[in-house]
Amino acid sequence: MVVVGANAAGMSAASQAKRMRGDKLEVIALERGSHCSYSACGIPYWVAGDVADGEGGLVARSPEDHRAKGIDLRMLTSVEAIDVHAGKVTVRDLDSGRRYQEGFDHLVLATGAVPVRPLVPGGDAAGVFGVQTLDDGVALLVGLERLRPRRAVVIGNGYIGVEMADALARRRMAVTVVDRAPQPMSTLDPDMGELVHRAMEKVGIDVRTDATVTGFEIDGEGRVRSVVTSDGAVPADVVVLGLGVRPNTALANQAGLPLGDHGGLRTDTQMRVLGHDRLWAGGDCVEVLNLVSDQYEHIPLGTHANKHGRVIGHNIAGSYATFPGVVGTAVSKVCDLEIARTGLSERDATHAGLGYVTVSVQSGTRAAYFPGTQRLTVKMTAEGHTGRLLGVQIVGNEGSAKRIDTAATALWNHMTVEEMTTLDLAYAPPFSPVWDPILVAARQASAAVRAADR
């Protein structure tokens, strides 16, 4: 078993297969970077100062840990080509420059994603940082310590952009977030995004929406001085790029493997590359089926990557496991505000050709009289006529976000909003009002479905 890429998907696959087959399976993992099995998800919190152990705290397993389990993990080793018919990969040892071939019975592609860069000159100037890898995180923190910047501009207001804006604001910088979208968090509906916008402004983050980056002003020493946008120039001592990612499938493409509309590898539910018995793929380099819209999407999340790896490991080890798809669940945080979504937004539902009704409710995280209760808004979307749950979005303070898991489970099980009104959810005053906010939203959504049918 040869694995390309030694992070979430790749090392989950390698570890699962090795656990199940032991010495009967030779596992080689090839990683071009200098880190393996780390949490990129923790980078914004590390930058903010929440992760006490620093860089090491984000590493779940070191190369030595994997080698001790019998995995032949080769770091600073890049795979340059795949010969599908011969069952071989061309490998380069980045230290020595030596090139060699490695044969495989099973090949796992877990090459992740590549960050989107602004298509304007100057994006590689000194003071411009990415946050895709642990090395990016190290470079950013070293830069922040050295430059002691006062003004930061974050480009991109998706979840990574808003998490980074929050992290930099907590480091006492004046932060501006620039994006061409009309509201932060475009995976939410604009009315829910507006709640995020307001919360960011409340802590002093300058949110520039509908603003396209057109260039960078660079000084004589090659250092960024401002970000030029359609809304004017924004002075910057540092710039952080949080524009999202696209699947890293150049290698797969060269080998003629099947890619979908979003550029990700296409697999069956066992995570086998379509049409190839011995090739497997998982994580940010694949497209996943959205079980609500029945459309393939690129949803690069660690939660999927780890599950893909487990499924691949099982199947290569001779067991059987599947990854049927996703319902689009994600959670994030900016300032004290928790943000969660699952299923389809209004735009997604329209795109999927579904008629829908939608309701928004304001409720509390605990009984109204209980100390510390926090406000939250739940927006629920249901299919017209059938009443099938299509999506839920939650924005609120502490205790709000993980309520999304109830909705995700309901979506997974194709429940209607009427069925959801009877869900046996836990209640005691310190945890929820007697009608949990999800139940309140389901009641109102059910009423809206009935009213629309009348």
Ligand X SMILES: Cc1cc2nc3c(=O)[nH]c(=O)nc-3n(C[C@H](O)[C@H](O)[C@H](O)COP(=O)(O)OP(=O)(O)OC[C@H]3O[C@@H](n4cnc5c(N)ncnc54)[C@H](O)[C@@H]3O)c2cc1C
For binding to ligand X (CB under 6 A), which residues are involved?
4-10, 30-33, 40-41, 43-44, 78-79, 110-113, 131-132, 160, 248, 251, 283-284, 300-303, 305
- What is d(CA 204, CA 171) in angstroms, rounded to the nearest whole number? 13
Taking the complex as a whole, how short is the minimal distance between the CB of residue 361 and ligand X, in angstroms? 26
At a CB cut-off of 8 Å and minimum separation 6, what does 189 contact?
Answer: 345, 346, 347, 379, 393
Closer CB to ligand X, residue 30 or residue 255? 30
Q: What is the DSSP letter of 381?
A: E
SS3 321: coil
Alpha helices in 148-296 (DSSP H): 159-170, 190-202, 250-254
Taking the complex as a whole, how short is the minimal distance between the CB of residue 258 and ligand X, in angstroms? 18
Two tokens, residue 304: 């999927």
SS3 246: strand
- What radius of gyration, in Å, describes the C-alpha atoms of the chain? 23
Distances in Å between the Cα of 411 and the Cα atoms of 17, 202, 291, 439 are: 31, 33, 9, 14
Pairing of strands 245-247, 113-115: antiparallel
Distances in Å between the Cα of 301 and the Cα atoms of 85, 140, 282, 330, 341 are: 31, 22, 11, 8, 13
Closer CB to ligand X, residue 333 or residue 379? 333
Closer CB to ligand X, residue 35 or residue 151? 35
Closer CB to ligand X, residue 300 or residue 396? 300
- What is d(CA 34, CA 135) in angstroms, rounded to the nearest whole number? 8
- What is d(CA 393, CA 348) in angstroms, rounded to the nearest whole number? 13
Taking the complex as a whole, how short is the minimal distance between the CB of residue 224 and ligand X, in angstroms? 20
Numbers of helices and strands, H then E, in the chain:
13, 25
Taking the complex as a whole, how short is the minimal distance between the CB of residue 252 and ligand X, in angstroms? 10
Two tokens, residue 352: 């999927």
Q: How many CA atoms lie within 13 A of 403 on its CB side?
A: 35
From the list 297, 436, 301, 298, the residue with the least C-alpha distance to 380 is 436
The full length of the chain comes to 454
Closer CB to ligand X, residue 44 or residue 313? 44
Taking the complex as a whole, how short is the minimal distance between the CB of residue 163 and ligand X, in angstroms? 7
From the list 134, 147, 164, 120, the residue with the least C-alpha distance to 236 is 147
Taking the complex as a whole, how short is the minimal distance between the CB of residue 319 and ligand X, in angstroms? 21
Closer CB to ligand X, residue 142 or residue 368? 142
Closer CB to ligand X, residue 27 or residue 113? 113
User: Any idea which residues carry the catalytic annotation?
Assistant: 41
Taking the complex as a whole, how short is the minimal distance between the CB of residue 219 and ligand X, in angstroms? 28
